[in-house]
Amino acid sequence: MADLKVFSAGVAMRLAKQAVEAFEAEHPDLEVEFSGGGSVAGVNRLLGGEDLDVLILADQSAIDEQLMPDFADGYFVWGGNEMCITGKGINSDNWKEVLLDPASEVKHTNPYDDPSGYRAVMAMMLADKVEDGLSDKLLHHPKYKGLDRDQYKRNPFGPPPGGPGKGPGGPGRKPGLPPLKDGEYRFTYLSGPASSGAEYAKLPPEMSQGDPAYEDLYNSVTFTVDGGKVVKGTTVLHAIMIAKNTAHREAAEAFVKEFLKTDFVAKGFTPVQKAVGDWNL
């Protein structure tokens, strides 16, 4: 029986793994069951009655709209982000030309369970604000897989479905996205390529969802995720929370403090940190 169950969205997977390892080293008497996947999946697991203690989510609005006040008293925003495009040879000057090349393959993660995926779709929806007709060109690109739900599969990292596992090495897929091949371009969070040294193109703020000055514009687009929730576009903010009904409050607080020791700015995140609701750590 695990002493603490931690779920992390993909955007923070590696950082969460490091925090789990540090936490277990400092608390050898405690066992952590660590799993990860899309934030929507994590939220739905908690809503479905699973005993998760700590959730690190890519989209703080999911906590606001679905988990407070019944499943969370408050949360902490540990960093911001924005959408970009990564791939070989792409930059902020040529991204439209590169993406619209019929030979290019346009990719993103599963939009039905992952904020990175639905924010990629939102970026394409907002592209008309940069150039008239650009949204349609991107969403109907000949090598974009589109939005057919059956095309998007995800094997979660760690338990479930493989059952409990100690630490961050549970059964399931390894964290991280597969490497891109030549001619493949992925909409993703800027923190990924910025911290890894991969090539990327910054997007105009109208599309990036990273500039609070454009909040009203971001709010104008929506996407329906697994479970039927309609998600509204917002500025990207990542958050950590402790489940309201946790039976391991002291251990959960200690883990959160360990995670928040991370230098998020050095990892490519924007320096946004704030407590929301009843958050007293």
Q: How confident is the model over 188-229, as pLDDT tens digits?
A: 999 999 999 999 999 999 999 999 999 999 999 999 999 999
C-alpha separations of 224 from 67, 119, 230 in Å: 17, 12, 4
Q: What is the side-by-side order of every strand in the sheet holding 105-107?
A: 105-107, 184-189, 83-86, 200-202
Residue 166 scores a pLDDT above 70:
no
What would the mean pLDDT of 110-124 be, rounded to a whole number?
Answer: 96
β-pair type (54-57, 4-9): parallel
Q: With bands split at pLDDT 50, 70 and 90, how would you rate the model's confidence at 176?
A: low
The CATH topology of domain 4-277 is D-Maltodextrin-Binding Protein; domain 2 (3.40.190)
Residue 172 scores a pLDDT above 70:
no
Residue 169 scores a pLDDT above 50:
no
- What lies within 8 Å, CB to CB, of 256 at 6+ separation is 54, 76, 240, 242, 281
What pLDDT does 178 receive? 79
Rounded distance, CA 247 to CA 249, Å?
6
C-alpha separations of 193 from 91, 119, 199 in Å: 12, 17, 7
Rounded distance, CA 115 to CA 188, Å?
10
Can you say whether residue 247 is alpha, beta or left, with left for phi > 0 and alpha for psi between -120 and 50 degrees? alpha
**Least confident span in 174-178, 250-254, 259-263:** 174-178
For the chain, the maximum distance between any two Cα atoms, rounded to a whole number of angstroms, is: 59
Residue 252's identity, in one-letter code, is: A
Q: With bands split at pLDDT 50, 70 and 90, how would you rate the model's confidence at 151?
A: confident
What would the mean pLDDT of 83-101 be, rounded to a whole number?
Answer: 97
Rounded distance, CA 65 to CA 114, Å?
16
268 burial type by CB count under 10 A (0-12 exposed, 13-18 middle, 19+ buried): middle
> Residue 250: helix, strand or coil by DSSP?
helix
Residue 175 scores a pLDDT above 60:
no
Q: With bands split at pLDDT 50, 70 and 90, how would you rate the model's confidence at 152?
A: confident
β strands within the chain, DSSP E = 4-9, 32-37, 54-57, 74-80, 83-86, 105-107, 184-189, 200-202, 222-224, 230-232, 237-242, 274-277
Q: Where are the domains of the chain?
A: 4-277
Residue 170 scores a pLDDT above 50:
no
The helix (run of H) or strand (run of E) holding residue 102 is none
Q: What is the side-by-side order of every strand in the sheet holding 4-9?
A: 32-37, 4-9, 54-57, 237-242, 74-80, 274-277
Q: 42 versus 161: which is more confidently predicted?
A: 42
